[in-house]
Amino acid sequence: MKTTITARHFDLTDAIKAHTEKKASQLKLHYDFILEIDFILEVDKNSKALENQMAEAKVHIPGEVLHSKVHSTDLYQSIDELTSKLERILSKHKK
């Protein structure tokens, strides 16, 4: 499974990268045929909204691409919520 992480408007730290990769590896437990996962992590510094930390993912599986996006006040929380959402989507798709 190939994992790519793109950071927008901030520097990607080793801790955020490790946390994202750990969560991505947990998705493999819910669906065996994941080909690739593309993460986009973004911090909107100009936004006055409280939920300015965004995590987005595209999960490539045979014949389909699953997409999800989550906003929150903390980037780690966004990543956690995103992977939880993707786990539910992959479980439904598996059935």
Q: What is the pLDDT of residue 46?
A: 75
Q: Could you tell me the CATH number of the domain that includes residue 59?
A: 3.30.160.100
For residue 47, the enclosing domain spans 2-73
Report d(CA 52, CA 72) in Å as an integer.
Answer: 6
Instruction: Give me the mean pLDDT over the 3-9 stretch.
Output: 94
Number of domains in the chain: 1
pLDDT in tens, 64-89: 999 999 999 899 999 999 999 999 99
Does 54 have pLDDT greater than 80?
yes
To the question of pTM greater than 0.85 for the whole model, the response is yes
Report d(CA 27, CA 21) in Å as an integer.
Answer: 10
pLDDT in tens, 14-51: 999 999 999 999 988 878 889 999 999 999 877 666 77
Contact call for residues 59 and 85 (beta carbons, < 8 A): no
- 86 found inside a domain: no
